[in-house]
Structure 1
Amino acid sequence: MLRRDEKEKGAQSDEIIAFLGKGTEFKGIITYSGTVRIDGKVEGEIVTQGKLVVGETAVINAEISAGTVICGGKISGNIRASERIHLLSKAVMTGSVNTPNLIIEEGVSFNGKCQMGQEEASQAEIRPLQAVGHDSNGS
């Protein structure tokens, strides 16, 4: 369940284009535009420029790339969010997060790494080092 302050910020006012309810399971790649709410289980990959709302009963084991992620459930995997990630008080997050704005409420369980800022800048710094490593190994 989303907190009152999330409702006021538009988490409920956005038109939800899809809903994966409690007791449902999905394996594979989900791509979409808009807002999707998940209360069931997902395994795989989620890709969107829109919003992902993860309910308290959700269990997600996936790589996530989104505009905004609001999580009150369990996520195992890495999240890249171009706008923000908001971990609500009952969220359990295991994995790395990369976002310019991160909100972690009291009560969240977070095990992983956090990188804040622009992804393009961090990738530019990493790529030359990887290329040098491949050249020195003769690959």
Structure 2
Amino acid sequence: MWALGERKHRTADDDENFTFLGKGVDFKGVVNFDGTVRIDGRLEGEIHTTGTLIVGEHAVIKGIVSAGVLVTSGKINGTVTAAEKVQILKPGILIGDVRTPVVSMEEGSHFHGMCDMGAHKWIEDQSPVQAVRDTNVHNIVAHRGKVRTQDL
């Protein structure tokens, strides 16, 4: 009864789901989560969340990872897609292809694979100045073999 005056105002963050797969848990299959997920066990298959995926130091994931934010200090072998960012912490190992706009790697972590950070957008969104420069490029192969004559 006295707690009514001291009740905290709840925010949307307080309502966020938190899922934990602890050490010793082995899971095979496809899992979908809402909110934040922490994995300290082993997962083989696919894991999807629009929230944050935290991979603990002793965790091992093999397969497809899709998250809003990925923070890993464990081992991941597979394809990773993160809408916001991928953060690899020491002693984390990530082997596979990564697609995300932001990557950060702590010293002592390891990454082996390809990383797509959306550079194709930079190429497609050329400035008008660059487009004009590109129209002034000449095809040298078409001119090969032609000799320019000069008046003597």
Shorter-normalised TM range:
0.7 to 0.9
Q: Is the 8 A contact 1:55 1:73 kept in 2?
A: yes
Q: CA deviation at 1:119?
A: 8.9
2:68 paired with 1:67? yes
Structure 1: runs of 5+ lacking an equivalent? 1-12, 122-139
Q: CA deviation at 1:51?
A: 0.8
Q: Percent identity?
A: 48
Q: Is the 8 A contact 2:17 2:34 kept in 1?
A: no
| Structure 1 match to 2:50 | 49
With structure 2 as the length reference, what TM-score do the two structures score?
Answer: 0.66
Q: Is the 8 A contact 1:28 1:45 kept in 2?
A: yes
Name the structure with the higher strand share: 1
Superposition map of 1:88-127 within 5 A: 88-117=89-118
* Structure showing greater Rg: 2
2:79 paired with 1:78? yes
Structure 2: runs of 5+ lacking an equivalent? 1-13, 123-152
Number of aligned residue pairs: give it.
Answer: 109
The one-letter amino acid paired with 2:81 is R
CA spacing shift, 1:118–1:37, aligned 2, 3 Å: farther
Structure number with greater CO (CA < 8 Å, separation at least 6) is 1
Structure 1 residue ranges, 4+ long, deviating more than 3 angstroms after superposition? 13-16, 118-121
Q: Is the 8 A contact 2:51 2:68 kept in 1?
A: yes
With structure 1 as the length reference, what TM-score do the two structures score?
Answer: 0.72
| Structure 2 match to 1:3 | none
Q: CA deviation at 1:15?
A: 5.3
